[in-house]
Structure 1
Amino acid sequence: MRRPLPRRPGEGLTRGFPAVLSLVSAFAIWELYVRASGISPLVLPAPSRVLDQMVLNRAILWHNTVPTVKATLAGFSLSLTVAFVFSVVLDFTPRVRRALLPIFVVSQTLPLVAIAPLVVLWFGFDLTPKILLVTLVTFFPMLVALLDGYAATDPEIEDLLRAMGASRRTVFRRARLPSAMPYFFAGLRISITYAVVAAIFAEYVGARAGLGIVILNAKNSFRPDLVLAAVVISSALTLVLFAITALLQRIFLRWRDPGDGR
């Protein structure tokens, strides 16, 4: 197979330029529309006004961003651990897989808008319900990704290891687990985009602090500019976490093709 050429210096910036240009253009069109139409800022604030609110309320926004980050990272870490443990159990025991997998599927059909108030009612207004809701939302995509990755293992590699006397654990460690890594990171990127949204929604339902509380209070005060300021921060937080997972994938999966700089 032909080995891919290494990435040229500056190629990453060139590839990201269209996305940046599209984003800047969207904000520019938004700003021009608000100024030209004269629409009330209570209906649609301009991006410049949203930016002003981010600067003026930076202390409040920062104070409420920290709890959201804590809930996101704690819930996602718990979800990651639980998903991996269950994926190993289900891979080693097909009967348990047939018994539990339908339950996990059903858990994803439960509407978050109905479950979140109950979780807050049961566990209070501290960090616990937010962690549990983030775990509930992000657990299933990673579990499915890992199971699909195990199933995608090359049978010839497994047969070779068994012919050499390898145990089931050795086959899993040497073949099935490495095969699942690309699938795992794909599920990781999907789940991390849900994690911040789940944390904010949990705060919106009931919490003492967080971006969800900022959004709720700003909405009740008819402050769409402050609502959008919190939304911008949550979007930026999601993009940062997504970029970190992409970087980790490049670092840990470089062994698959050292010449692939993508």
Structure 2
Amino acid sequence: MRQIFTKGWRPLAAILLFIVIWQVATRVFTIEEWLLPAPTDILSEAQHTWGEFLFHFVATVKLTIVGFIIGISVGLAVAILLHMLPKVRETFYPFLILSQNIPIIVLAPLLVIWFGFGSLPKLIIITLSCFFPIAVSALGGFQQTSRELVHYMKMMGATKRQLFWKLEFPHALPSIFSGLKISATYSVMAAVISEWLGAQEGIGVFMTLATSSFRTSRVFVAIIVVMVLSLTFFGLIVLLEKLVLKWNKKGGTV
């Protein structure tokens, strides 16, 4: 706890200083609220619109969680498949890299044309955003397993399946969690982007309506909530990482 306090007060102080400067600047230079609202205006707007915003918040959280679970599941499955089948990896790994060169914001309208305005195109967008970080991180983790340990287990008569689940997968957990943390932050951003395309609920819809009516305070409320939501997801993955890696170390696996 003492270490957290000593290390955490500097960024907290920087954030508070930034908010104070922001507040003072908007008052001193009499900046219009529609152009750049003061932090107090944003807080006031959040209090007035929280009942309406909560509906959109819950919709985005549900969409993010489902898309994140699908994305990491597909990413892990593809990473395991490419690792276990070297010839398949040599054939399809370049396509995995090329898939990330297509901007999601460009692909999104096509998904709406192909699959309509329901939940499916939105889930596909989130899945594509979460898929790549976890797939590449996991695949890299599998390949970084000590060759000496692999050779030792083969000498002991371990099968390919035993080699993977007893050695390669546990040793890849730190890399997997690195990919999970990236995917967790991407998932919220992707959910909001997907909601810009024609959804009826969600933070993205809330932001679109606020922007079209020049209610900038509402836009900032949505932005701040998205940031907090991303940090929350990231923190949950970090906590899960500590618990899982601690359990594996106690079990002597990692």
- Give TM class, smaller chain: over 0.9
Where do residues 182-193 of structure 1 align in structure 2 (5 Å cutoff)? 182-193=174-185
User: Out of 115, 127, 132, which is 2:124 matched to?
Assistant: 132
Stretches of 4+ moved more than 4 A in 1?
255-258
The superposition leaves residues 57-112 of structure 1 with CA deviations (integer Å, 9 ceiling, x where unpaired) of 00111100111111111111001111111111101111111111111111111111
Give me the identity figure in percent: 33
User: Out of 239, 247, 258, which is 2:239 matched to?
Assistant: 247
User: Out of 107, 132, 154, which is 2:99 matched to?
Assistant: 107
Aligned to 1:3: none
| Distance of 1:88 and 1:218 partners within structure 2 | 44
Aligned length: 250
The answer to whether the Cα contact below 8 Å between 1:117 and 1:206 also exists between their aligned partners in 2 is no
| 1:256 CA drift (Å) | 6.0
| Structure 1 residue 80 corresponds to structure 2 residue 89 | no
Partner-residue secondary structure (3-state), 1:166: coil
| Distance of 2:35 and 2:96 partners within structure 1 | 41
| Structure 1 residue 205 corresponds to structure 2 residue 197 | yes
| Structure 1 residue 196 corresponds to structure 2 residue 188 | yes
Instruction: Calculate the TM-score normalised by the size of structure 2.
Output: 0.95
| Structure 1 residue 233 corresponds to structure 2 residue 225 | yes
Which structure has greater helix proportion? 2
| Distance of 1:121 and 1:180 partners within structure 2 | 39
| 1:123 CA drift (Å) | 2.1
For residue 243 of structure 1, what is the amino acid of its counterpart? G
Aligned to 1:60: 52
Cα RMSD (Å): 1.2
Instruction: Calculate the TM-score normalised by the size of structure 1.
Output: 0.92
For residue 214 of structure 2, what is the amino acid of its counterpart? F
For structure 1, the 5+ residue unaligned runs are 1-8
The answer to whether the Cα contact below 8 Å between 1:125 and 1:208 also exists between their aligned partners in 2 is no
The answer to whether the Cα contact below 8 Å between 1:126 and 1:208 also exists between their aligned partners in 2 is no
For residue 47 of structure 2, what is the amino acid of its counterpart? V
| Distance of 1:132 and 1:158 partners within structure 2 | 37
The answer to whether the Cα contact below 8 Å between 1:218 and 1:227 also exists between their aligned partners in 2 is yes
| Distance of 1:12 and 1:125 partners within structure 2 | 45
Aligned to 1:121: 113
| Distance of 1:69 and 1:255 partners within structure 2 | 29
